[in-house]
Structure 1
Amino acid sequence: MSLPTITERFPPLPLDDIVSQIRAFPHKSTEEKKAFLQHLVALHPITAVDWGGDWRYRRARALNPGELPPHADGTIWNKNGHPKLGRANAEGFPVLYLADRVNTALAETHIDDQTVMLSEFKILPG
């Protein structure tokens, strides 16, 4: 069982709908404007994270058979790979996704039977 992505759990308003609503926005009544904004906020959740210094954050990365990164920076992502389009990154631009739970980090790999590397990070004071 895989966990749903944020866009699967909270499907965004189609872009064409957003564009037409924005174009019509200046002509709407105050109540219509409020209703549209409330609708947008309800569809697009905001996540706030308290970056506590004692928290541990994990990153799981799928490994190819026999692969082991030669340097610590290889625990972040495959330097020789080509990042795919993701939730927070455009294709070709890597983003470091971290989880506060081991099972969340493992679920993010979307694999069932492959070797993974689990890295743990801690935010240092200052």
Structure 2
Amino acid sequence: MTGDRLDLDQLTERAMRVHALYDELNQRERGRTWNREEFMLGFVGDVGDLAKLVMAQEGARHMPGGREALHHELADCLWSVLVLARLYDVDLDTEFRRTIGELDEAISARLADPPSSAP
């Protein structure tokens, strides 16, 4: 891989290639692959690890690995999101743009309104 940045489709294709490799390895070593629910549970575990690493970065706990582990876990979580989107046939590009547009609009509208005075 060169230093060129990958777009979302390229990232997804790479993610799915690694997912297929994991399936092959799990089939060979355990005689089965993970279903979508098990994959999601693995992602939840990764999010938990990410939360601990963020807490460590903020000085709230000790976690080995430091910033490098945080980088790894963020990338690992992105990998899981890309795979889950493909497994559930979600067009992440379209949905991300739609969701961010809606959030931008809703938050901007609230910020445009004068703050209400709380009693």
| TM-score normalised to structure 1 length | 0.24
More strand by share: 1
| TM-score normalised to structure 2 length | 0.25
Structure with greater contact order relative to length (CA < 8 Å, sep ≥ 6): 1
